Structure 1
């Protein structure tokens, strides 16, 4: 085929909010570089995303919006099934998606030239490779502060007797995966964050499958930047950091990666607040609170006496207890507190009124706060958030951790005192602004991430594509 052909990338994220967002941002950056995009969601997420759009525009599978063609594949679950059950979701995906993905590529015989898969969906790379597509893997988090280093170290962990061949913990110890990388507690390895043993085994085996499948990727990129994680990128130079991902498209009304409707009125509310005065509180798309912790957090925010913007996701609280605000709380904070179901977080964190970010430390939130110079108060829930917290507090020193009491509770007094401590710490504020500058420089002309992104786009333009045979 002619090398002058316009590249057309097929993009496949893991079907969760924290994975869809960075892959959508990557898609926009590639569009800016002349790459056509077809983006795959599950039917369930496709319906949720387009149900949140306020435009009233009818949306059909296969429709192109903002230069992106959206297609959808079933995840194998029923609409009422719990998609926070990652064991069940993962098993279902592996049963139905491989065949349907192959059919999608074949039925578009030769339309696609390249395939970019989330490393959490790396099993799909072999399908793309076998059907003649250039292949690339995308890690949506940090290289070291996220899970990637732990996942790639599984064979070494088994060999050293830290875990057995099923991922079960054999030694509870602090381990050093790579020189220059912050040590981690072996009990916090990613598959151990799930409560039941069955799910742990499912996720462990899935991670091994994806680890092995990354060999089918011709190139690997991640949503970080070189200056943020120098030790790990010197260790794994084959992974190109292209973050922090951002684009000129984020100001458009259609935000095509959000599973909840955004409360855009909160920006107007922020406009009325003083500079560096507002506590922003958000816990991503997965965190679940029990009633006691939910109420303690509410009372802690009240005790600060400061204005706050709190994202109270519709499913933020557990299913066994209906969590409620403390009696009279909403009335008492009405003049300085705003609770919303979901926020346009990109815009919120850029707003000059924001003073700090009470965060679960998911990577999207971490890099968004970091690139805007916002100091963190860390409230991790599970998995990579525990890794990210250590980097925020101990390595980058741009935040503080909230400490649990003997009952495992973060008390209202702890919330109040740590907010005050954080906002008085000039060293943290200075370091936050310094990292903001490094993040900005990395994506500017001559910056490390911009060079890598351009290199990646050039790789996708190398259309060494084989003809794809139609299904008989």
Structure 2
């Protein structure tokens, strides 16, 4: 446990996307609960979006106001990403990524320097999302312990970490990538190329996004510690292999202390309350449908899913962001669809996902397989109908369907049909198949529960990380003092 008389102070910097922000916030709170003083940094644009989503927040309050009232020592700061806060980042995605690759470091350097010069207690540690490309430079400049926080599964982390092996073996970055099983990544028994992250399937691998991936996973090799939002028992071989290279700790799932209600606002949109509607439905009868905060689906797929929901006869809550198809164009549903399902379907633009999934009437989850969504679905004992769209969602689906047996692939072919959607919704929600999935998901949930118990692997790993971090901080301080001697 941290000596509260010499409390360490850490800067925590999330990556400016909803799926990365949520676990970073809960990590900051967990560190604060262990006696750390935290300065949490958001970009000004993310702070602006959260404020718009919570229009009735008290003037002058930041997102950690309630956390401080509960006794956690968490300060808050924002930094410019180089664009006006009102600019839609997703309609200017290439330029936005360019700034994060080449220019935001200057703003971060200025802010961190100011915090380091004025903070009391002094800053000793920088915890930054793995996808930030500037972390080692900033940590070295200000003599801070460098902690990389991965919000994705260890499998994804280690595949990116070993990109050179994929490239050398012709499974990535070749004119015609190999299609055979990949069995040479340390800590990974075997994986099919079709289960790699979408960016490793691309033929154009010189994009800004690829440059961010290359640079961030080169830079992560300089980290003093790596934290991963996963559970050791679920990815033990992968974690162990990584730990042989660098100190790596599985500390997940990182949830708020009250799972159904976080005291920190992290939603980038205003949330609909679905409780009253859900209260009218029988236990386990409702399918929750959401493709997360970032993924897009094609208009054709959206129409097939809508028709499939109608054919299934199952009640559902469907989160349909306005930009679900394209950031510049509105989506469309089948003519008459909303009228035809008004008694058994609720469509909202955004909601409090955990509140919906933990409601007794919800019995299944049609998901894009974002890692936060997978963890939350497991915690709510929901079998998963998997429709990954891009990025890490594809290997997440592999774990869910192939390894843990807690979900079903929505489409086994490249395109989906309304009949396949309807059939698989019914397999997920009722019958022997559903019973088997629920039995398996309860086993995985117990693994999560055991991991974060007082004597669980994640809690032990977290405490060990803090002990090792204290040793590293003292060494850095000692070396800094010696360097100042005449």
Question: Equivalent of 1:443, from 445, 452, 473?
Answer: 452
**d(CA) in 2 for partners of 1:125, 1:348:** 40
Counterpart pick for 1:212 among 218, 225, 246: 218
Q: Which residue number corresponds to residue 71 of structure 2?
A: none
Is 1:155 aligned to 2:161, yes or no? no
TM-score (norm 1): 0.89
Counterpart contact for 1:291–1:324, Cα < 8 Å: yes
The equivalent of 2:102 in structure 1 is 95
Distance 2:17 2:298 in 1: 22
Residue of structure 2 in register with 1:288 after alignment: 296
Cα pair distance change 1:250/1:340, threshold 3 Å? same
1:381 corresponds to: 389
1:455 equivalent in structure 2? 464
* 1:27 and 1:37 in contact (8 A); partners too: yes
2:351 matches 1:350: no
Residue in 2 that maps onto 1:26: 27
Does the Cα contact within 8 Å between 1:300 and 1:416 map onto a contact in 2? yes
Q: Measure the CA separation in 2 of the matches of 1:320 and 1:106.
A: 38
Change (3 A) 1:415 1:129: same
Alignment of 1:1-16 (within 5 A): 4-16=5-17
Task: Rate the CA distance shift 1:250–1:430 in 2: closer, same or farther, 3 A.
Answer: closer
Return closer, same or farther for 1:43/1:374 CA change in 2, 3 Å cut-off: same
Deviation string for 1:40-65 (max 9, x for gaps)? 11111110011111434224779855
103-112 or 428-437: bigger deviation: 103-112
Counterpart contact for 1:173–1:186, Cα < 8 Å? no
Check 1:62–1:261 CA distance in 2 against 1; reply closer, same or farther (3 A cut). closer
SS at match of 1:220: strand
**What stretches of structure 2 of length at least 5 have no aligned partner?**
69-73, 482-486
Deviations 1:168-207 (A, max 9, x none): 654344323345544131694443466x837x43333322
* Offset of residue 289 of structure 1: 2.5
Separation (CA, whole Å) in 2 of partners of 1:58 and 1:243: 34
Counterpart Cα distance in 2 of 1:259 and 1:10: 22
Aligned ranges 1:135-174 → 2 under 5 Å: 135-144=146-155, 147-164=156-173, 170-174=177-181
Match of 2:140 in 1: 129
**Structure 1: how far apart are the matches of 2:201 and 2:269?**
25
Q: CA deviation at 1:377?
A: 0.3
Runs of 5+ consecutive residues of structure 1 not aligned to the other structure = none
Inter-partner Cα distance in structure 2 for 1:370 and 1:61: 31
Choose 152-161 or 330-339, whichever is displaced more: 152-161
- Normalising by structure 2, report the TM-score: 0.87
Kindly state the Cα deviation for residue 456 of structure 1 after the two structures are TM-superposed: 2.8
Closer/same/farther in 2, CA of residues 359 and 316 from structure 1, 3 Å limit: same
Distance 1:314 1:322, change over 3 A: closer
Alignment-derived partner of residue 129 in structure 2: 118
RMSD value over aligned CA atoms?
Answer: 2.7
Which of 114, 120, 124 in structure 2 is aligned with 1:107? Answer: 114
Q: Residue 484 of structure 2 aligns with which residue? A: none
Contact 1:373–1:434, Cα closer than 8 Å, also in 2: no
Contact 1:300-1:414 at 8 Å conserved across structures: yes
Kindly indicate whether the alpha-carbon contact (under 8 Å) linking 1:3 and 1:461 is maintained by their aligned counterparts in 2: no
Aligned-partner Cα distance in 2 for 1:354–1:38: 37
Following the alignment from structure 2 to structure 1, what is the Cα–Cα distance between the partners of residues 91 and 447? 35
**Which residue does the alignment assign to 1:325?**
333
Partner of 1:413: 419
Instruction: Give the Cα separation in 1 of the matches to 2:118 and 2:469.
Output: 15
Closer, same or farther in 2 for the Cα pair 1:293/1:257, shift >3 Å?
Answer: same
CA distance in 2 between partners of 1:404 and 1:26 (Å):
36
> CA–CA distance in 2 between the matches of 1:158 and 1:453?
34
Q: 1:131 to 1:326 in 2, by over 3 A?
A: same
How far apart are 1:404 and its partner, in Å?
5.8
